[in-house]
């Protein structure tokens, strides 16, 4: 029939242009698109990365606030004095029974304190070894190294003298800081 109108295989090959592409590198358009997408991603993630320092500092402040309140509540519920000792150079603090000097058991792990081992057992929070608090700096206290709570929950210094001015503890992480205030009359602790 009309087979003479159909092109042969050889005819088809000879009619198409031969295009040869080299895939040895990236085109300018591909490189530009990757750069644009990377820039958009970086701009959208920047506030989240900057906000991380605030979250870490607030988290450390809330943990410290909780531990101060726990110490005060423990003193009031048991009718004896409990204290907290701050080691700002070592980035740590401990909670102890004032009468014995022994750290109280850690309420989270139930590890008990041992006489003479102030920083290695019991309720010790170390900012250098705790993965959630690493990098946070225990900056300063305005009441010396110790705060004690009597059976009425009133804050005292290491000489058992009642506070006359508000106490404060400052924590910081690069780019952010928090200060805890302790009311001298009631021992109420707030984070600011």
Tens digit of pLDDT for each residue in 175-188?
Answer: 889 999 999 999 99
Give the Cα separation of 152 and 144 in Å (integer): 21
Whether the pLDDT of residue 78 is over 90: the answer is: yes
Q: Quick one: CA dihedral 58, 61, 65, 71, positive or negative?
A: positive
Task: Specify the pTM.
Answer: 0.71
Average model confidence (pLDDT) across the chain? 83
For the chain, which domains are there?
A: 51-191 (3.55.40.10)
pLDDT for 4: 55
Share of the chain above pLDDT 70, in %: 80
pLDDT for 109: 76
Yes or no: say if 167 and 148 are a contact pair by the CB < 8 Å rule.
Answer: no
Structure confidence by residue, pLDDT tens digits, 56-71: 888 899 999 999 999 9
Give the Cα separation of 144 and 70 in Å (integer): 20
Local confidence band at 139 (pLDDT 50, 70, 90 cut-offs): very high
Whether the pLDDT of residue 5 is over 60: the answer is: no
Whether the pLDDT of residue 92 is over 70: the answer is: yes
Long-range contacts of 128-133 (CB under 8 A, 24+ apart): 128/90, 128/91, 128/92, 132/59, 132/63, 133/59, 133/60, 133/63
Q: Which residues of 177-190 are buried (b: 16+ CB within 10 A; e: fewer)?
A: bbbbbbebeebebe
């Amino acid at each position: 029939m009309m087979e003479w109108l159909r092109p042969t295989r050889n005819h088809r090959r000879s009619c198409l242009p031969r295009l040869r592409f080299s895939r040895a590198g990236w085109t300018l358009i591909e490189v530009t698109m990757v750069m644009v997408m990377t820039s958009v991603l970086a701009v959208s993630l920047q506030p989240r990365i900057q906000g991380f320092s605030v979250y870490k500092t607030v988290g450390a402040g809330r943990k410290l606030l909780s531990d101060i309140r726990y110490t005060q509540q423990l003193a009031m519920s048991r009718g004896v004095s409990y204290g907290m000792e701050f080691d700002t150079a070592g980035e740590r603090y401990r909670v102890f029974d004032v009468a014995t000097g022994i750290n109280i058991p850690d309420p989270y792990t139930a590890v008990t304190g041992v006489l003479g081992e102030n920083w290695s057992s019991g309720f010790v929070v170390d900012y250098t070894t705790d993965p959630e608090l690493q990098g946070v700096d225990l900056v300063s206290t305005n009441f010396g190294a110790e705060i004690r709570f009597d059976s009425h929950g009133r804050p005292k210094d290491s000489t058992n003298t009642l506070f006359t001015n508000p106490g404060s503890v400052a924590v910081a992480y690069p780019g952010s800081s928090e200060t805890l205030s302790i009311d001298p009359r009631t021992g109420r602790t707030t984070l600011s």
